[in-house]
Structure 1
Amino acid sequence: MSEQHQGAHTAAEPDGTQLDGTDQPRPQPPSPSPGPVVAEPHRPRPPALHGGPGVEPGSEDELDAVAAGPSPTHPHEPAHEPAHPVPAPPPAASGHAVAPASPHPERWGRVDPDGTVYVNTADGERSVGSWQAGEPAEGLAHFARRFDDVLTEAELLATRLSAGGADPKHTLSSARTLRESLTEAHVVGDLVGLSALLDGVVAQAEQAVGTQRAERDAARNAAVARKETLAAEAETLSVEATQWKQAGDRFKAILDEWRTIRGIDRKTDEALWKRFSKAREAFNRRRGSHFADLDRQRSGARARKEELALEAEKLADSDDWGPTAARFRDLMTEWKAAGRAQKDADDTLWQRFRTAQDAFFARRSQNFAERDAEFDANAAAKRSLLDEAEKIDTGDPDAARAALRNVQERWEAIGKVPRDDIRPLEARMRAVEEKVREAVDRQWRRTDPEAEARVAQFRERVAQFEAQAAKARAAGDARRAQQADAQAEQWREWLATAEQAVQHR
């Protein structure tokens, strides 16, 4: 049998692969200029969607096929599902029914007597391959099955995209690639309808990609805004915070929230992180500086309080009550001004200081209590003595003065009395002393020889001036008589006063 006769029973693909009647390829040497591959072993396809034979749109068979989803081994299955459902497909994707080519492939193409296979397109016929392995109808059926496989792939893309189970971006890429491949696809079928279906899938996928991009941009903007808010809060805390524990806890909470915020591009995220990190470092430096200063202050306060506690312990045994009590008050003022030391040291030093202070004031209180009891007894003794003094008889001034002197000596011997009793007791004693003094004065005035001599002298002078006045009138000297009468009158007044003083003694 010649080579030409053998060609009547085999189909030659453009790449040189020889097919026998069972569509099984036999290895051949590689061709120097390989053409497109147009035939491969037939794969069974799932029930056609959107108008396959025996399947009515919206019937239970079609719904079951849609619910089953694409085969997990499909070569164009998306790597992952989108984060958000995509919108329902436009009419171009779901309203154009594309019938499978396999039941009636003669509607979509033909086989020339020389075995060339053609498909009908919008621009006319296009050669899709050569069939030499059997009857022309078998060749058309072979290329129609190839079309059905492509249709199945397109329908699966549309179905998964409409159901929200596909990545819109990946679906868009796959649909575009599939649509572009139709211009050279080695298939026989409704290429116009399939192209329209893929156009709808592309439009739907582009819309979904836009929606996904808008949602992603919105989420990114929200994430950026939130991190900017957190960074601004951190910057404010780094400058103004003085409640160190609360601010430190807030920084931790900001960091925890920061780690949960996703979806920001690296450049923006790094810039925001630098702001937050810089603010946190500034806060840590301020807090560290504050506590370093506080440690220095506490060390100084501890040294100063040790000095005050030591001085207080030395004063605890003092009996100089007034000055020591005043010094303890000054020590307390200095203690408060010294500031706080570390808690343990501060508590220990305060206990030392307070113990010494309490010991001194306890001793002083006991001393004052004993003194008050003594003063109360002294006051009672002085009141008894005053009762006796107030009964002194002033009729005999000398005896009264002697009795008063005895009372005064006993008064001084008694000692101090309570502060509140000093003025009343002293007033009563001064009254007794004044009573005795008046009695003595009266006696002295009655027995004073100088007073009697003054009275006699005043009488003598009155007599002298009266005589001078009489002599002047006898001589007819009225002026001298008048002067002598005036002088005599003046001395009479003085005489009357002196006599009155003597009479009232």
Structure 2
Amino acid sequence: MREGDGERAVGQYPDGTAEEALAYFERKYTDLAGQVTLLEQRAKRGAPASDIAKAVASLRTSVAGANAVGDLASLAARLDTLGGTVEELTEQQSAEAKAQVEQAVAERTAIVVEAEALAAEDPARTQWKQTTSALDSLFTRWQTHQHDGPRIPKNEANELWKRFRTARSTIEHNRKAFFAELDNQHRDVRARKTALIEQAEALIPRGADGVPEYRQLLDQWKLAGRAGKRNDDALWARFKAAGDAIYSAKAEVDAKDNEEYSANLELKLALLDEAEPLLKATDRESARATLLSIQQRWDEIGRVPRDQVRPIEDRLRKVEAAVRRLDEEHWERNNPEKKARSEGLASQLTEAIAKLQQELDDAKASGDQRKVKEAQEALDARKVWLDALQ
């Protein structure tokens, strides 16, 4: 094959025609050209620069001494061009790799910062279920990032892992300390509530008489605190069962009392029918005497069913208030001091009215309309005051 001004033997092809021999060596050239073309395409797609460089070096050797027929000089020129591309690609990929590493460091740092924020929470206010779940999620993100992300410098990786491990250790320490303290608190509350249960159960034989003390125990129960949901439910079931037994005995007593007191209720309702007409009474003496008689009989009747005490007492209180108002109004009207003041003022008003009447007559006789008007207005005003006083 010609190379520049000379020629180079590329091989022999015995037992074949010239056309067959030429086609054979042309196919070898086509194979080399295809490898160069493929390498060019890989470079365009951003294949690793080191791989491209190795392939270029290998193909240069293959093209330089190729036993092939074709434009080998153009293939060598294309490989030279690829060599320049490799340098550019190396710089580009180095910049991209650096940016990826910086991004990876930033992402891993963000994971560490989130973990440290969880570690800085007040253990007494921490929602441990959510915090533990969040920490597990962060650790999973860390492992995924470490496995799938780009490698970061060892010093930075070690420093970030140290921070993350410290935060996780702090959280775990705080969690264990919190639940240990909580267990102690629950243990104390269980002891207090168990003692209250025993006191409540001791009241059961006393029946209804144990209600006041059980109510005091219930107040103490509310202040005792929490012993954990599972324990609280079981403890409350025992305490409530004791209360149910006590109140059941009380309900039986109340039922008997209500049956006994039902007749008293009927008698007091009849007295109310007798008393309520006094709401419209005007005779103070008669109303007071009637009410006194009703009150005496009311007290003699005795107790009524518990749920009826308030309604009938309220009705009687209204009657008593009405009769009391009759007394108050009477003494208001007959107060000696007030009566004396009223009579003195009435006398003055009467004299003023007589004087103004004379002035009005004189003004009418003189025909002075202005004086007539003034005298009439003054006279009308005094008459209104006198009517109000009387």
- TM-score of the superposition, structure 2-length normalised? 0.56
- Pair 374,157 (structure 1): closer, same or farther in 2 beyond 3 Å: same
The amino acid of 2:104's aligned partner reads A
Within a 5 Å distance, the mapping from 1:296-311 to structure 2 comes to 296-311=184-199
Q: 1:310: how far off?
A: 0.8
Map Cα deviations across residues 150-182 of structure 1 (whole Å, 9 max, x no partner).
Answer: x99996774343111754213325646987x99
Q: 2:89 aligns with which of 208, 217, 236?
A: 208
Cross-structure match for 1:227: 108
Contact 2:36 2:75 in 1 (8 A): no
Is the contact made by 1:168 and 1:209 (CA closer than 8 Å) also made in structure 2? yes
Distance 1:304 1:360 in 2: 21
Answer whether contact 1:161 1:168 (CA < 8 A) is retained.
Answer: no
Query: Is 1:293 matched with 2:181?
Result: yes
Give the superposition deviation at 1:230. Answer: 1.4
Q: Secondary structure at the match of 2:205?
A: coil
Q: Distance in 1 between matches of 2:108 and 2:245?
A: 63
Question: In structure 1, what is the Cα distance between the partners aligned to 2:167 and 2:32?
Answer: 55
Per the alignment, residue 337 of structure 2 pairs with: none
Q: Which moved more, 1:207-216 or 1:413-422?
A: 413-422
In the alignment, which residue of structure 2 is the partner of 1:488?
none
2:159 and 2:6 map into 1 onto residues whose CA distance is: 61
Please list, as runs of the form range in 1=range in 2, the aligned pairs for 1:146-225 lying within 5 A after superposition. 158-164=36-42, 167-172=48-53, 175=56, 196-225=77-106
Displacement of 1:191 in angstroms is 10
Check the 8 A contact 2:36/2:59 in 1, yes or no: no
Gaps of 5+ in 2: 12-25, 275-295, 320-390
* Aligned-residue offset at 1:104: 1.4
Alignment-mate amino acid for residue 301 of structure 1: V
Amino acid at match of 1:264: R
Corresponding residue of 1:331: 217
The verdict on how the C-alpha distance between 1:263 and 1:153 changes in structure 2, with shifts beyond 3 A counting, is farther
Paired residue for 2:237? 351
Check 1:325–1:107 CA distance in 2 against 1; reply closer, same or farther (3 A cut).
same
| Structure 1 match to 2:132 | 248
Distance change (3 Å), C-alpha of 1:224 and 1:156 = farther
* Partner of residue 264 from structure 1, selected from 115, 135, 151: 151
Q: CA deviation at 1:288?
A: 1.3
Instruction: Give the deviation of 1:229 after TM superposition.
Output: 1.3
Cα gap change, 1:417 to 1:195, in 2 (>3 Å): closer
**Cα distance in 1 between the residues matched to 2:204 and 2:104:** 69
In the alignment, is the contact (CA less than 8 A) between 2:200 and 2:242 conserved in 1? yes
**Aligned partner of 2:2 among 104, 110, 113:** 104
Q: Partner amino acid for 1:296?
A: N
Q: Distance in 2 between matches of 1:412 and 1:336?
A: 40
Post-superposition Cα deviations, 1:177-231, rounded to whole Å, max 9, x if no partner, equal 987x99xx99999998777544322211111222222222232222222211111
CA contact (8 A) 2:118 2:131 kept: yes
| Distance in 2 of aligned mates of 1:257 and 1:220 | 17
Supply the AA of the counterpart residue of 2:221. W
Partner residue, 1:4:
none
Distance of 2:318 and 2:229 partners within structure 1: 58
User: Is 2:226 the partner of 1:340?
Assistant: yes
Structure with higher helix content: 2
RMSD in angstroms over aligned alpha carbons? 4.5
Q: 1:243 is aligned with what amino acid?
A: Q
Provide, for residues 33-76 of structure 1, a one-character-per-residue CA deviation record: whole Å limited to 9, x for no partner: xxxxxxxxxxxxxxxxxxxxxxxxxxxxxxxxxxxxxxxxxxxx
**Counterpart secondary structure, 1:251:** helix
Q: 1:338, 1:246 → 2: CA distance?
A: 28
Measure, in 1, the Cα distance between the counterparts of 2:110 and 2:91: 28
- Which residue type is aligned with residue 40 of structure 2? S
The one-character-per-residue Cα deviations of 1:94-136 (angstroms, maximum 9, x if unpaired) are xxxxxxxxx1147247xxxxxxxxxxxxxxxxxxxxxxxxxxx
SS at match of 2:206: coil
Match for residue 141 of structure 1? 9
- Alignment partners' CA distance in 2, 1:424 and 1:178: 117
Identity, in percent, stands at 34
| Aligned mates of 1:167, 1:427 — CA distance in 2 | 103
**What's 2:164 paired with?**
276
Distance 1:292 1:275 in 2: 26
Alignment of 1:84-123 (within 5 A): 103-105=1-3, 107-108=5-6
Label 1:385 to 1:228 Cα distance change in 2 as closer, same or farther (>3 A). closer
Deviation at 1:291, TM superposition (A): 1.2
Contact 1:316 1:356 in 2 (8 A): yes
The answer (yes or no) to whether the contact 1:168–1:205 under 8 Å persists in 2 is yes
TM-score w.r.t. the length of structure 1 is 0.44
The DSSP-based 3-state class of the residue aligned with 1:416 is coil
Please tell me whether the aligned partners of residues 157 and 201 of structure 1 are also in contact (alpha carbons under 8 angstroms).
Answer: no
State the 1:293 CA deviation: 1.2
Please tell me whether residue 376 in structure 1 is matched to residue 262 in structure 2: yes
The amino acid of 1:314's aligned partner reads A
C-alpha distance in 2, partners of 1:427/1:174?
A: 113
How many residues matched? 271
